[in-house]
Structure 1
Amino acid sequence: MLSHQSLKSRHSRFLLATVFSLFVGSLHAQEAVLPIMPLPAHVTRGQGEFVIQTSFTIAITGHNEPRLERARQRFLDILTRETGIPFSREVSSQAVFIAKAEGPSVEVQKLGEDESYRLVITSADVQLTALSPLGILHGLQTFLQLVGVTPRGFSVPAVAIEDSPRFPWRGLLIDSGHRFVPVAAVKRNLDGMEAVKLNVLHWRFADDQGFHIESKKLPLLQQKASGGLYYTQEEVREVIAYARDRGIRVMPEFDMPCHTRSWFLAYPELASRGAADSAGFDPSKESTYKLLATFIGEMAALFPDAYFHTGGDECDPKEWESNPRIAQYMREHKFANGAALQAMFTGRVEKIVAANKKIMVGWDEVLQPNTPKDVVIQSWRGQASLADAAREGYRGVLSWGYYIDLNQSAAEHYQVDPMGDAAAKLTPEQQARILGGEATMWTDIVSHENMDNRIWPRTAAIAERFWSPQEVRDLDSMYARLSVVSQKLSYYGPRHKVVTEEFLERMSGDPDPMALRVLASVLQPPRLYQRQELRSDFTAINRMDDAVEPESETARQFDEICKRIVAGKALPADWQQARAWLTMWRDNDAKLQPELARSALTQDLAPVSKKLAQVAEIGLGALNALEHGEPIAATRRQESIALVQSAEKPVSVLLIMPAASVQRLLEATKEASVQN
């Protein structure tokens, strides 16, 4: 029997071959399917390929600036990591790759700045042109994604690409409020963002659990509320510069008036109730706005971006309504309820933000009848809510459907579009107010250690939704290309491909936990908010549900094979692969059970391993029945379905993903007419 590693290697080669066969099959098509993500807006296939020689050089012509020179060096570093070729860093007058920007970018990157580029690759040379350096940055990433190994060495196909994004706002939220995220983790995910052409880092610094940025004007915030973990202002400037080099804006978020318990450790007088149990600021005190004006002014000076996020979500108005002093204030000022009081608070904060020459961004709740039209609405409630905001004259971005901490599949995220059915009913002017969207990496149940395999590679699929034409929607193509891009991302810095292995080694104390690896390969953490229900927030991130990827690629491919078997479309290789996997999963339990008891972090996996073995045994029986057209006794069939269905529910905070696929096989078998 093939080892898990051999199967995984063969499977990876199969995926890569599938992608490149899709590409080769379209060589003569006007619109070629490229093995990259996001797909460009317009592609014309040429003849031949550009082979990357040891003498390969790249030069920047036209407008030049230090950022472009650093991009050139970074491009060569990544190309060397992929090819192993030590390219010269010197600029040659004989360069075979010429990148030319027509003019400069603005000093502080703006929303809607031109990001288009044209990339023409022939067998002899490469020409990249753009109106601004942003287009050059994007074109360099497209070239890097096109690099592949061929019998002639590393090369890229001859192709002409005219490309520009569908949406100007393509973001990733990194939540450093619930849990502190070290600068190194932020930077490596900025590297990943550059690779897939995301252009907004939404950086969130505070929540009930901590306040994680230095304030020089209000130093008690980091002194009393950070636990010693916070970003200095110099570190923040370093990250902003790092992001700008990669064509990425950095927008800060300081959530208010709620999600603010950490503030009250430093300034208890701000709380609407006792500092220990208050959920939000006291909107009735002038001292609240005085302190916020000081803080927002300081942070507005630190962050050059034009947009400043003030949160505004998930407040409970009853906290204000039940406070006698605040209730009296509401009566005196004729506020009908707590929601109206929050609207007043939002208006006051918006004026402070505007006074600092920034544009306020807030979650859905900040949209009230008197909200200034300049405010940008970030929607977590859904496409209809976003469309409603646009109809009322507000610009907005969508995050509903892109909560990558909730362990949904790449396909689920990919099928959500900011310009959904609700937006289709808007006028063109209203549709133009939908700026794009953001994937959100909340850290309630994620730490900087496993963050990368929660963000990547699925966020590349979301990035394609924001960049590529709306009609680019084929799931098979997406998954095939996502496998290639996942490997490419490893050359940049994201650690998504090593997270699981590192966790397994720590959990087991074994430098080569083969049997544990086999089990992990087909497990997923619970989806949506079920993980929080089964294991509380803010626990140590060191268990199997923290280690495994949100979407098991092995289980997904097994399910695709099962679908083909049930549909009568399976190839002999499909049957062979399904049988090999099921046999491995069945036999793995006997190897793994003695090892699980040796570690406190793996003991609760015993029932998971046992149930996977039972599911695999049932799957082998169903496979045999389908292959030979033999019926299964009714009682045994019903018992098997019941066991498999029980395995589809979380076991030790884990989902056994092949269970649903085996049920698919079982339901396709015939039931014997005679009970036995």
Structure 2
Amino acid sequence: MKKLLLLVLFLPIVIAKAQTSTVHIIPQPVDVKQRPGTFLLTKATVVAYAQPESRTVAEMLATKLSTPTGYTFTAKPSKLTTPGTIQLSLNSLPNAQLGNEGYTVDVSPKVIKIAANKPAGLFYGMQTLLQLFPKEMASTSLAKSSWTAPCVRITDYPRFGWRGVMLDVSRHFFSKEDVMRYIDEIAQLKYNTFHWHLTDDQGWRIEIKSLPRLTQVGAWRVPRIGKIGQLAPPKAGEAPTDGGFYTQEDIKEVVRYAQERNVTIVPEIDVPGHSMAAIAAYPELSCTKDTNTRVNAGSNFSEWYGNGKFKMFIDNTLNPSDEHVYAFLDKVFTEVAALFPNPYIHAGGDECYKGYWENDPGCKALMQKMNMKHSEELQSYFMKRVEQILKAKGKKLIGWDEILEGGIAPEATVMSWRGIKGGIEAAKLGHEVVMTPNQYAYIDYMQSDPTVEPPIYSTLRLKTCYNYEPVPDSVDAKLILGGQANLWTEAVSTLSHAEYMTYPRCWALADVYWSPKESKNWEGFIPRMETQFERADLAGINYARSAYDPIVTTTLKGNKLVASMDTEIPGLDVFYTIDDSVPGRYANKYGTPIEIPEGPITLRVITYRAGKPIGRMLTLKRDDLRKRAK
């Protein structure tokens, strides 16, 4: 009898644990309470919306549910919650805890209720509900599954108001369709800001009708394949056929698409540096006025010395002393402001080379007139003029943290990318900040060992992303609007590659920007990530499995070279060889650091889980191991 009583008492705990293992939601909700039972989706299920403002989300949900199940759902106006109903409704009395983007999802065996204060919250509640159903719900074609959702009560709301992802479409052009697909993907993860980097040295991507040469000339470059910075410059007579741009009608379509998914688009027009494409179209905008300037195709046009110091071989900066430049910018921002109905326009401000300014008579005269002592003050003057242009159009200036140099514009918002220092400085000056430090949020960086990843400047592993904390201890948390991931595309030319660089790192950062700080747990994130892998497979979304790869570090202990091996994901076995054989589960199993003998030695390392290979094999020669020794 005692044993039976213990079994009865123990059984609910087992059931609860089993159900918990199936609730794998990204980002992690604030509160999930599980209950016995499931809701079964059938062809008789009704998708209902209680208010007209809920209709758009209800129609989206009906479409999402119809595609993989094969059932034909349509959204219907109804306040009734009869059995078999999925109802979306706006709270008649706003719930202060939920704010504008929070929601509740209540799943019982008979009814599912999604409630929120605003349609944005319903949209995010829908995303959570879809993740409660089996992974096959993510399929883009007819699939087979039980179509059940566990009974839960979820209360959820975001930690930060700015949850962004930046896509650079200047270095490589992405079609309108690709951009909309990318927006749809990040919206499913509850990101609400799409930072669209539209102009740079390698291309001007937005139609400005009053300045047609910006796209006639600035959107096109000579075709080149290879690593940017190492490609040949244009040859005489070579046709600029590589590129593209978005018409204003394209922009309007993308903006509407994003708005339906609760995504605000922040356009970036990068000035005064990074302006080679604009100068190729209108050479008179620069100090040198070089009519031979072309849109850069990936050739080396700069030399970097460290600590942010560099020299440009080609003038890619707008002339801050020329009033025609500000007339040009007024035309650009007039049209940009009309296309994007959000408060911000990003004006860049980063990596502006001032050498050409320092030698320009007009700039020297302006410095003397304004009693400037350093050329950084010229950029401050420029950005303050830009702020006034934007303010006249009802927009706020946001820029990279270089806009602090020489004196920040009075009402500017700072995007801190060179670590967190600029963000701290801006916040202490009373400015709002978006935290996007390169060592935590630059998703163009390698995800694993340089021997198995396309090489680029640095490495950013998934666990590092996940462990990021956007609010420094020394600042007022209210001034940290949030953060974002940045995908620069110097080495990324296709949407598939963009997805590979974005996921799973943007799954990790979704937790960082949405979920409570207290709920972060790396080991708990792993099963949610692995469920997301399965959903992505069915949705046709590319992603990286780099987190399974082994990590090899080396040290010198006297004359001895010692290799240590580790993994990001706990519970993996690491096997290695140094005898030129291929490692497998019968090879040496790593336990403690090993000495790498002298001679032509090659270390090969691979990870296994449950007796099967799971990570990529690293092949490292002794000389390479010696170079990475600390």
**Alignment TM class, shorter chain as reference:** 0.7 to 0.9
Amino acid at match of 1:482: M
Task: Give the equivalent residue in structure 1 for 2:549.
Answer: 555
Task: Give the equivalent residue in structure 1 for 2:477.
Answer: 431
SS across alignment from 1:55: coil
Question: Whole-Å Cα distance in 2 between the matches of residues 178 and 394 of structure 1?
Answer: 30
Task: Give the equivalent residue in structure 1 for 2:519.
Answer: 472
SS across alignment from 1:305: coil
Question: CA offsets per residue over residues 237-260 of structure 1, 9 Å max, x none?
Answer: 000000000010011100100000
Amino acid at match of 1:49: T
> Conserved in 2, the CA contact under 8 Å of 1:119 and 1:139?
yes
User: In structure 2, which of residues 109, 113, 129 is the aligned counterpart of residue 127 of structure 1?
Assistant: 113
| Correspondence 1:287 to 2:324 | yes
Question: Whole-Å Cα distance in 1 between the matches of residues 551 and 153 of structure 2?
Answer: 33
User: In structure 2, which of residues 335, 341, 344 is the aligned counterpart of residue 307 of structure 1?
Assistant: 344
Question: Whole-Å Cα distance in 2 between the matches of residues 213 and 39 of structure 1?
Answer: 36
Task: Give the equivalent residue in structure 2 for 1:34.
Answer: 23
Amino acid at match of 2:498: M
- Structure 1 residue 154 displacement after superposition: 2.2
Question: CA offsets per residue over residues 468-514 of structure 1, 9 Å max, x none?
Answer: 0012322222122112123334566x6315xxxxxxxxxxxxxxxxx
Task: Give the equivalent residue in structure 2 for 1:415.
Answer: 467
- Structure 1 residue 618 displacement after superposition: 8.6
> Conserved in 2, the CA contact under 8 Å of 1:120 and 1:160?
yes
User: In structure 2, which of residues 494, 499, 517 is the aligned counterpart of residue 448 of structure 1?
Assistant: 494
Question: Whole-Å Cα distance in 1 between the matches of residues 507 and 587 of structure 2?
Answer: 38
Q: Label 1:557 to 1:133 Cα distance change in 2 as closer, same or farther (>3 A).
A: farther
> Conserved in 1, the CA contact under 8 Å of 2:103 and 2:116?
yes
Amino acid at match of 1:329: L
SS across alignment from 2:518: coil
| Correspondence 1:361 to 2:398 | yes
Question: Whole-Å Cα distance in 2 between the matches of residues 563 and 54 of structure 1?
Answer: 52
> Conserved in 2, the CA contact under 8 Å of 1:118 and 1:130?
yes
Question: CA offsets per residue over residues 156-209 of structure 1, 9 Å max, x none?
Answer: 111111111000000011111211111111111111112110000111111011
Root-mean-square deviation (CA, aligned residues, Å) is 3.8
Task: Give the equivalent residue in structure 2 for 1:99.
Answer: 88
| Correspondence 1:87 to 2:102 | no
- Comparing 141-150 and 358-367, the one that deviates more: 141-150
Question: Whole-Å Cα distance in 2 between the matches of residues 77 and 242 of structure 1?
Answer: 15
> Conserved in 1, the CA contact under 8 Å of 2:383 and 2:409?
no
Task: Give the equivalent residue in structure 1 for 2:541.
Answer: 495
Amino acid at match of 1:319: Y
- Comparing 88-97 and 48-57, the one that deviates more: 88-97
> Conserved in 1, the CA contact under 8 Å of 2:170 and 2:204?
yes
Matches within 5 A, 1:504-583: 549=544, 551-555=545-549
| Correspondence 1:402 to 2:441 | yes
- Comparing 88-97 and 71-80, the one that deviates more: 88-97
Question: Whole-Å Cα distance in 1 between the matches of residues 106 and 586 of structure 2?
Answer: 51
User: In structure 1, which of residues 357, 365, 374 is the aligned counterpart of residue 411 of structure 2?
Assistant: 374
- Structure 1 residue 30 displacement after superposition: 12
Task: Give the equivalent residue in structure 1 for 2:425.
Answer: 388
**Unmatched tracts of structure 1, length 5 or more:** 1-22, 106-111, 498-548, 587-610, 648-655, 664-676
**Unmatched tracts of structure 2, length 5 or more:** 1-11, 137-143, 221-242, 294-313, 447-459, 554-563, 607-614, 623-630
Tell me which protein shows more strand as a share of its residues.
2
Q: Label 1:490 to 1:169 Cα distance change in 2 as closer, same or farther (>3 A).
A: farther
- Structure 1 residue 557 displacement after superposition: 11
Question: Whole-Å Cα distance in 2 between the matches of residues 34 and 661 of structure 1?
Answer: 40
Amino acid at match of 2:279: F
Question: Whole-Å Cα distance in 2 between the matches of residues 270 and 388 of structure 1?
Answer: 32
Matches within 5 A, 1:509-658: 549=544, 551-555=545-549, 614=580, 616-617=582-583, 620-623=586-589, 638=597, 642-644=601-603, 657-658=616-617
Amino acid at match of 1:389: A
- Structure 2 length-normalised TM: 0.74
> Conserved in 1, the CA contact under 8 Å of 2:49 and 2:77?
no
- Structure 1 residue 437 displacement after superposition: 0.6
| Correspondence 1:296 to 2:333 | yes
Question: Whole-Å Cα distance in 1 between the matches of residues 413 and 584 of structure 2?
Answer: 53
Amino acid at match of 2:445: L
- Structure 1 residue 284 displacement after superposition: 0.5
User: In structure 2, which of residues 79, 99, 124 is the aligned counterpart of residue 138 of structure 1?
Assistant: 124
> Conserved in 2, the CA contact under 8 Å of 1:615 and 1:659?
no
- Structure 1 residue 369 displacement after superposition: 6.6
Q: Label 1:474 to 1:642 Cα distance change in 2 as closer, same or farther (>3 A).
A: farther
Q: Percent identity?
A: 28
Would you say how many aligned residue pairs link Structure 1 and Structure 2?
518
Task: Give the equivalent residue in structure 1 for 2:57.
Answer: 71
Task: Give the equivalent residue in structure 1 for 2:41.
Answer: 52
Question: Whole-Å Cα distance in 2 between the matches of residues 41 and 662 of structure 1?
Answer: 47
Amino acid at match of 1:231: Y
Amino acid at match of 2:100: D
Amino acid at match of 2:463: A
